[in-house]
Amino acid sequence: MSTHSTEQSSYPRADVDPPSGQLFPYKHLLGIWGLDPTAIKHLLDTADGYVEQNRQAKKSTAICNGLTQINLFFENSTRTLMSFEIAGKRLGLDTISMSTGTSSIKKGETMLDTAATLNAMHPDVLVMRHGDSGAVKLLSEKMDCAVINAGDGRSEHPTQALLDALTIRRRKGSIHGQTIVISGDVAHSRVARSNIYLLNAMGARVRLVAPPTLLPCDVDRLGVEVFHRMEDGLEGADVVMMLRLQNERMQGAFLPSLREYYRFWGLTREKLTVAKDDVLVMHPGPMNRGVEIASDVADDLDRSAIEEQVEMGVAVRMACIDVLTKDLRSGDAS
């Protein structure tokens, strides 16, 4: 019997059967949705090797020498952009980053022109972040190279979910069977959505804890348990992932006040007492201290994995670039 709790979800699986036994049979990494669990495991296993490499004095390899990576970010980013840039450089790619204001290029004709322009420069990897859900997929259809989604609107942020999964697997030994709470502004969070897909695919029990106004309208179809009181949702939890209020994606008022939000939904030491003693606290960043998380919880070295998540981010992004360029490299060798 399958142990994947995606069976709980009423969404159709968009899996493709891995052709010819390939461990990662996809051209792009556009989302977690539809990835075979074997492919997810392969990415995590590959990333594990890079964690060790990144802890050595000499961190670079030349496996991707001669390849070109373009990072195209239409939204602000600190962790994701920097770690993709470091990841590319550590693998030996020529890495170029371009950040654009959200208003300069919009979906539609202009986006396709952008794709044609970039494609003409023959990159081997394109990493893209955009404020509109679906924009990265749209662009990928016009590109010859591998495209990695670095976050699109409120849709997906696959490398964040992978780095979160790697953090959990290394700290807890496994993802399967863990009770994992995702709490806060789930409705506007691409991090939550990618994590729900991945954690379900790997057999975790996923709980969402949020006020009703901050839950997505398709929550019943996500294969998760829903709680509206933190004290209930945190009971016996192995891991708690806190989310930022994504004000930039909110249209209208979703909360009475930040003070009230912190009182009911902020993660404090007191609220954590009902979780397991060794509960792991996570946050994708950027954090709003005193809004969704108390400073003493975020900085608690015994429980907080927030800096470790950043470290795992570089390794996971190296793994993604590695597996997506494998065919290209083996073609060169022959």
**Token code pair at residue 237:** 């939890």
CB 19, CB 138: distance < 8 Å: no
SS3 (DSSP) at 225: strand
Residues in contact with ligand ASP, counted by CB under 6 A, come to a total of 8
Out of 131, 153, 284, 313, the residue judged to bind ligand ASP by CB under 6 A: 284
Tell me whether residue 178 or residue 246 sits nearer to ligand ASP (CB atom): 246
CB 264, CB 236: distance < 8 Å: no
Name the residue among 317, 330, 333 with its Cα closest to residue 125.
Answer: 317
Range 87-116, binding ligand ASP (CB under 6 A): none
CB of 9 to ligand ASP, least distance (A): 22
CA distances from 208 to 7, 157, 184, 285, 305 (A): 18, 18, 8, 18, 19
Range 150-179, binding ligand ASP (CB under 6 A): 151, 157
Q: How far apart are CA 17 and CA 22, in angstroms?
A: 10
Tell me whether residue 67 or residue 161 sits nearer to ligand ASP (CB atom): 161
Phi-psi region of 92 (alpha: psi -120 to 50; beta: other; left: phi over 0): left
Handedness of CA 62, 166, 183, 307 (dihedral sign): negative
Phi-psi region of 66 (alpha: psi -120 to 50; beta: other; left: phi over 0): left
CB of 247 to ligand ASP, least distance (A): 10
Range 123-152, binding ligand ASP (CB under 6 A): 151
Tell me whether residue 5 or residue 309 sits nearer to ligand ASP (CB atom): 309
Report the residue number whose CB is nearest to ligand ASP: 244
Sequence-separated (6 or more) residues with CB below 8 Å from residue 253: none
CB of 82 to ligand ASP, least distance (A): 12
CB of 283 to ligand ASP, least distance (A): 9
CB of 245 to ligand ASP, least distance (A): 8
List, in sequence order, every residue forming a beta bridge with 205; answer none if it has no partner.
179
CB 277, CB 256: distance < 8 Å: no
Range 176-205, binding ligand ASP (CB under 6 A): 190-191
Tell me whether residue 42 or residue 190 sits nearer to ligand ASP (CB atom): 190
Start-to-end CA distance of the chain, whole Å, equals 41
Tell me whether residue 64 or residue 192 sits nearer to ligand ASP (CB atom): 192
Tell me whether residue 67 or residue 312 sits nearer to ligand ASP (CB atom): 312
CB of 285 to ligand ASP, least distance (A): 6
Tell me whether residue 90 or residue 244 sits nearer to ligand ASP (CB atom): 244
Out of 28, 169, 207, 244, the residue judged to bind ligand ASP by CB under 6 A: 244
CB of 277 to ligand ASP, least distance (A): 28
Tell me whether residue 123 or residue 153 sits nearer to ligand ASP (CB atom): 153
**Token code pair at residue 172:** 């807890």
CA distances from 324 to 43, 95, 100, 255, 296 (A): 10, 16, 25, 42, 40
Question: Scanning the structure block, which residue is given the tokens 């989604």?
Answer: 149
CB of 161 to ligand ASP, least distance (A): 11
In one letter, which amino acid is 204? A
By CB under 6 A, is residue 42 in contact with ligand ASP?
Answer: no
Tell me whether residue 12 or residue 101 sits nearer to ligand ASP (CB atom): 101
Q: Which residues bind ligand ASP (CB under 6 A)?
A: 151, 157, 190-191, 244, 246, 284-285
